[in-house]
């Protein structure tokens, strides 16, 4: 009788589910407890070799192999894997020696020895030895030993050993030893050992060891070791080692030891060669060339303005709207 009673009690506590490939042994009550194997649902501790057709885990999910494709289910709590945990959605702390993969979203704290990948959103803190990748938006703090990439927007802090790339907008703080790139706008602070590039507008502070480039407008501070370039206007402070270029207007301060080129300078420009169509402000250079109106002051060795409405101080000063001998004068020329 004792043996018969024991045989009746054990199946009630330990269940082996056979349907849908969810073979497991469970010490559970209404899915609460401990399961060993591919249980579809567990509230508590779940130990499994490979997740297949997962539904939900609330608690701790421990796996050895990577999850089978297509990724499914949701894990709320702690996910730990040798190769790496994977699910449709990971909420909580996810750690994989190889990597962590989420189909729809990974959030809170995600750590992968090699990589952290979300095929949609990546939120919270994500750290990977090689790469941190979101095929959707990346929000929070992301650190990648080689690269941090979002195929949509990056918002927050992104740090990479080689490159940080947002295929849409980048807002917040981004740092990379080689390049920081946004295929749309950069807003915030972007720093790169070689180049910082915004394929549209750049707003905030951008620093590139070699160059800083905005294919749209720049508003704020742009510093390039060799060049700072804005294919639109530059408003604020621009510093370029050998060249500072604003194909639109430079409004503010532009500093370079090489060439400063802008369609219009409104403020202060300093360079060996300052080239602009219109100057409204103050320019200091070896050669100050204003191909249109100069309204303000230029100081240099050779100053040239097509229409001078101000003062030139230099060795040779040329004002084409002056008459006779006053077109070219040494030391000082003026038209007020």
Model confidence pLDDT, tens digit, residues 43-58: 999 999 999 999 999 9
Q: Indicate whether 317 belongs to any domain.
A: yes
Q: Which residue is associated with the tokens 């303000």?
A: 296
The predicted pLDDT at position 12 comes to 38
Share of the chain above pLDDT 70, in %: 93
CA separation (Å) from 86 to 78, 100, 140, 141, 264?
A: 12, 6, 20, 20, 55
Across the range 313-325, mean pLDDT stands at: 93
pTM, rounded to two decimals: 0.84
pLDDT class of 5 with cuts at 50, 70, 90? very low
Contact 137, 119 (CB under 8 A): no
Q: How far apart are CA 106 and CA 125, in angstroms?
A: 10
Q: Indicate whether 172 belongs to any domain.
A: no
Q: How far apart are CA 137 and CA 154, in angstroms?
A: 6
Contact 259, 276 (CB under 8 A): no
Please count the structural domains in the chain: 1
Q: Indicate whether 265 belongs to any domain.
A: yes
Say whether pLDDT at 18 is over 80: no
Across the range 303-331, mean pLDDT stands at: 94
Q: Determine whether 9 is exposed, middle or buried from the number of CB atoms within 10 Å of its CB (0-12, 13-18, 19+).
A: exposed
Q: Indicate whether 116 belongs to any domain.
A: no
pLDDT class of 14 with cuts at 50, 70, 90? very low
Q: Indicate whether 26 belongs to any domain.
A: no
Q: Give the domain range for residue 301.
A: 258-336
Q: Indicate whether 94 belongs to any domain.
A: no
Q: How far apart are CA 205 and CA 161, in angstroms?
A: 20
Say whether pLDDT at 10 is over 50: no
Q: Indicate whether 58 belongs to any domain.
A: no
Q: Indicate whether 287 belongs to any domain.
A: yes
Tell me how many degrees the CA angle 254-217-250 measures, rounded to the nearest 5.
25
End-to-end CA distance of the chain: 118
**pLDDT per position as a tens digit, 106-118:** 999 999 999 999 9
Comparing 16 with 315, the larger pLDDT belongs to 315
The predicted pLDDT at position 31 comes to 75
CA separation (Å) from 246 to 188, 212, 237, 250, 331?
A: 20, 12, 12, 6, 30
């Amino acid at each position: 009788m004792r043996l018969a009673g024991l045989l009746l009690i054990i199946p009630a506590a330990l269940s082996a589910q056979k349907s849908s490939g969810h073979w497991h042994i469970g010490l559970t009550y209404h899915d609460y407890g401990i399961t060993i194997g591919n249980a579809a649902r567990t509230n508590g501790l779940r130990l499994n070799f490979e997740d297949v057709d997962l539904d939900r885990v609330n608690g701790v999910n421990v796996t050895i192999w990577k999850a089978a494709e297509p990724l499914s289910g949701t894990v709320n709590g702690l996910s730990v894997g040798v190769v790496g945990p994977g699910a449709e959605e990971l909420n909580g702390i996810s750690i994989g020696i190889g990597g962590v993969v989420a189909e729809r979203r990974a959030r809170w704290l995600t750590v992968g020895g090699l990589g952290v990948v979300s095929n949609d959103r990546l939120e919270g803190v994500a750290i990977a030895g090689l790469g941190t990748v979101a095929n959707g938006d990346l929000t929070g703090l992301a650190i990648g030993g080689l690269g941090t990439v979002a195929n949509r927007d990056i918002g927050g802090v992104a740090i990479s050993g080689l490159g940080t790339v947002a295929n849409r907008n980048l807002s917040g703080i981004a740092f990379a030893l080689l390049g920081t790139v946004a295929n749309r706008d950069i807003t915030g602070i972007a720093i790169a050992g070689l180049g910082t590039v915004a394929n549209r507008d750049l707003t905030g502070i951008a620093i590139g060891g070699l160059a800083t480039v905005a294919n749209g407008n720049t508003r704020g501070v742009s510093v390039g070791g060799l060049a700072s370039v804005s294919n639109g206007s530059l408003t604020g402070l621009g510093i370029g080692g050998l060249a500072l270029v604003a194909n639109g207007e430079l409004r503010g301060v532009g500093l370079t030891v090489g060439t400063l080129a802008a369609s219009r300078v409104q403020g202060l420009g300093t360079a060996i060669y300052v080239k602009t169509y219109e100057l409204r402000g103050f320019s200091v250079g070896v050669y100050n060339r204003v191909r249109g109106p100069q309204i303000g002051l230029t100081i240099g060795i050779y100053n040239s303005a097509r229409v001078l409405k101000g003062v030139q101080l230099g060795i040779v000063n040329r004002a084409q709207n002056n008459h006779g001998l006053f077109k070219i004068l040494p030391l000082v020329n003026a038209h007020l």
